[in-house]
Amino acid sequence: MEDDMVPEAEQLKNILLLAGVPEADVITEPHAVNTRENALYTADVLQKHPEWQKVLLVTSAFHMRRAAGCFGQAGIIFDTYPADFNALEPEFEIGKILIPSAIAFEGWELLIHEIAGYVVYKLLGYC
């Protein structure tokens, strides 16, 4: 099933093209399979383009800490733009405080995945 998936780099390129960005201005890094590899491969691309004066790291807000650590470790100087924030309005009804919702459990999966990923990357020296 995963073999049929369009890589994220290609999906984002298509979005940029639909938004009117000229294809010559879109450079993708399609080979990485994780954040560390993406940082290392991106560092290689940036070395080939010393004329690029500014780099903007865009990723999901929950993933920014790990991504920023990896890109910094790869020697890239960048600004960050966290996107895709996940938040809900707080509800202070006693029933909603004491009884967890399915939405809350769904968020825990994402939180645990990202915390575990950050800890492993930190232990391995990736970020």
68-77 pLDDT per residue, tens: 999 999 999 9
Mean pLDDT of 40-51: 94
Give the C-alpha separation, 121 to 74, whole Å.
Answer: 13
Taking CA atoms, 50 is separated from 3, 109, 120, in Å, by: 35, 40, 32
- Residue pair 49/24 in contact by the 8 Å Cβ criterion: no
Query: Could you tell me if 23 and 3 are in contact, meaning their C-beta atoms sit under 8 angstroms apart?
Result: no
Asked which of 37-46, 47-56, 96-105 is least confident by mean pLDDT, the reply is: 96-105
Task: Extract the tokens encoding 68.
Answer: 């920023």
φ and ψ of 54, to 5 deg: -130, 140
CA distances from 67 to 2, 32, 34, 39, 121 (A): 23, 13, 10, 8, 10
- In DSSP notation, 59-84 reads EEGGGHHHHHHHHHHTT---EEEEE-
Residue 2 has pLDDT above 70, yes or no: no
